[in-house]
Amino acid sequence: MDARLEAIRDTVLARNPGEAEFHQAVVEVFESLGPVHDRHPEFLEAAILERLCEPERQIIFRVPWTDDAGRVQINRGFRVEFNSALGPYKGGLRFHPSVYLGIVKFLGFEQIFKNALTGMPIGGGKGGSDFDPRGRSDAEVMRFCQSFMTELYRHIGEYTDVPAGDIGVGGREIGYLFGQYKRITNRYESGVLTGKGISWGGSLVRPEATGFGTVIFTQEMLKTRGSSFDGQRVVVSGSGNVAINAIAKAQSLGATVVACSDSSGYVVDEAGIDVALLREVKEVERGRLKDYAERRGGVSYVDGGSVWDVDATVALPCATQNELDGDAAARLVRGGLLAVGEGANMPSTRDAVAVFQDAGVLFGPGKAANAGGVATSALEMQQNASRDSWSFEHTEERLTEIMVGIHHRCASTADEYGQPGNYVLGANIGGFVKVADAMLAQGLI
């Protein structure tokens, strides 16, 4: 790493002890940025990097609620408003027991660059709670969401900060959060949250957008090698919203998705995952992949283990951070891997990324490859601002244009900096320069 950036990195790491995932995200970005600072010494003079690594505002709050048995439960809520150089803070809320400040900061930090790459006017933020929705009734989830919003409402707004979903937060949770915001503020402020239901201000394609976008980005990478999804053998990790829609899109382009996973195990379905059944089990029944395997029949379900033991030509990690390590990456490479498109945020460890890049595998990092979700959130904000709602076709066309644009920006930036095909470098520099220019223009704030 560039020596000037090393000193800044060490200070950032020391100022934020115990936040391993945030450290990982910062180090990965810093490793790309040396050449930018050779060209732009003004970024160093204005301490852009030091400012970028310090969130503009961090909110941590108590979330008290009662469960169905009448017992009091206490969770911790977070919203990290990281950077507003390009627009209102924008990013999802994650409800998962692993959530703590270090996870929210890594996600918020990634979101700054991702949102910049979309070309839409959105800053970076992220939030969530250590609340575990798994096994909770609808009524418990509603009471939790209402309590969460009773604190959060004072910090957000269509021009201030616009949350959305992430792991554990989907249409049901956004509905309860929006209802409580409306009730407290007495405003039908559609643009305060995205991922809303289609009849009350949501956008068509938003539910599909992250998974679809990941496949569109990966398809653009494959095209640079004269290839496409047609005929590829694909493995997807996860079986939530991102994974299901990535599977659907990849199969619509002629690929066979032979495996996917949940936190208990994975299924191998050589005929190709039955998306309609998977949606039924996961989205309607909120069931487990084991249930899919039983209902589908003729497929193997592996309890525990790693889905990355299944050979693939294209891997789409769509579960969670650090789910794919160096050993798994090496195994996939030996099995004939051509491309990786990250549907989740930072699913590949730093070792895994190095293995892919050394082996010449096309590697699309999450902040580029999974930007379709937040980009379509920005399209939802646009529709809300103009009190309009667009057709599926038009919205999907916009999403496709945006993903192709992101691919182009990453690829051309990598070329410009003498590292053709390095999408990590292209995404980090492409996102950073846009934010840094805006920060310079807006003065020392």
Instruction: Report, in Å, the least distance between residue 367 CB and ligand GLU.
Output: 9
**CB neighbour list of residue 67: distance below 8 Å, 6 or more residues apart:** 73, 136, 140
Least distance to ligand GLU from the beta carbon of 241, Å?
A: 10
Q: Does 118 bind ligand GLU (CB under 6 A)?
A: no
Q: Could you say whether residue 180 binds ligand GLU (CB under 6 A)?
A: no
The answer for residues whose C-beta is within 8 angstroms of residue 199's C-beta and 6 or more apart is: none
Q: Which of 423, 418, 399, 410 is nearest to 339 (CA)?
A: 423
Smallest gap from residue 389 Cβ to ligand GLU (A) = 17
* Interface stretch with ligand GLU, choices 35-43, 86-94, 139-147, 269-277 (CB under 6 A): 86-94
Torsion angle of the four alpha carbons 424, 428, 434, 435, in this order, in degrees rounded to the nearest 10: 150
Return the closest-CA partner of residue 346 out of 29, 12, 14.
29
Burial class (CB in 10 A: 0-12, 13-18, 19+), 300: exposed
Q: Please name which of 152, 96, 97 lies closest in space to residue 125, comparing C-alpha atoms.
A: 152
Question: Is residue 357 close enough to count as binding ligand GLU by CB under 6 A?
Answer: no
Rule CB under 6 A: say whether 262 interacts with ligand GLU.
Answer: no
- Segment 358 to 397, residues that bind ligand GLU, using CB under 6 A: 373-374, 377
Q: Residue 423 and residue 407: Cα distance in Å, rounded?
A: 8
Sketch the per residue contact string, 150 through 169, with ligand GLU: x for CB under 6 A, - otherwise. Answer: --------------x-x---
Stretch that binds ligand GLU, among 85-93, 133-141, 254-262, 420-428 (CB under 6 A): 85-93
Q: How many residues does the chain have?
A: 445
Q: Judge whether 157 and 192 are in contact, CB under 8 Å.
A: yes
305 burial via Cβ count (<10 Å: 0-12, 13-18, 19+): exposed
Closest approach, Cβ 274 to ligand GLU, in A, equals 26
**What CA–CA distance (Å, rounded) separates 360 from 227?**
15
Q: Can you tell me which of 24, 84, 146, 194 binds ligand GLU, judged by CB under 6 A?
A: 194
Q: According to the binding rule CB under 6 A, does residue 177 interact with ligand GLU?
A: no
Q: Which is nearer to ligand GLU, 232 or 395 (CB)?
A: 395
Shortest gap between Cβ of 400 and ligand GLU (angstroms)?
Answer: 17
Residue closer to ligand GLU by CB (options 92, 426) is 92
Query: What is the spatial distance between Cα 147 and Cα 153, in angstroms, rounded to a whole number?
Result: 10
Separation of alpha carbons 324 and 262, rounded Å? 14
Does residue number 411 form part of the binding site for ligand GLU (CB under 6 A)?
no
Smallest CA-to-CA distance from 35 within 412, 425, 441, 435 is with 425
Comparison of 273 and 374: residue with beta carbon closer to ligand GLU = 374
Per rule CB under 6 A, is residue 208 in the interface with ligand GLU?
A: no
How many residues touch ligand GLU (CB under 6 A)? Answer: 10
* Closest CB to ligand GLU among residues 233, 434: 434
Return the residues of window 286-345 that contact ligand GLU according to CB under 6 A: 345
90 is an interface residue for ligand GLU by CB under 6 A: yes
Residue placing its CB nearer to ligand GLU in the complex, 345 or 357: 345
Query: Cβ 65 to ligand GLU, closest distance in Å?
Result: 23
**Part in contact with ligand GLU (CB under 6 A); list of ranges 87-95, 98-106, 197-205, 216-224:** 87-95
Nearest residue (CB) to ligand GLU, 139 versus 385: 385
Q: Does residue number 92 form part of the binding site for ligand GLU (CB under 6 A)?
A: yes
- Backbone phi, then psi, for 259, in 5-degree steps? -155, 150
* Least distance in angstroms from the C-beta of 270 to ligand GLU: 31
Tokens read off for 134: 């798994």
User: Inter-axis angle of helices 20-30 and 101-118, to 10 degrees?
Assistant: 30
Active site residues: 126
Name the token pair of 381.
């904000």
Residues of the chain by 3-state class (helix, strand, coil), percent to 5? 50, 15, 30
**Nearest residue (CB) to ligand GLU, 228 versus 322:** 322
Alpha carbon distance, N-terminus to C-terminus of the chain: 28
Position closest to ligand GLU via CB = 92
Does residue 91 touch ligand GLU according to CB under 6 A? yes
Please provide residue 33's backbone torsions phi and psi, each rounded to the nearest 5 degrees: -95, 0
CB 245 within 8 A of CB 211: yes
**Residues of this chain that bind ligand GLU (CB under 6 A):** 90-92, 164, 166, 194, 345, 373-374, 377
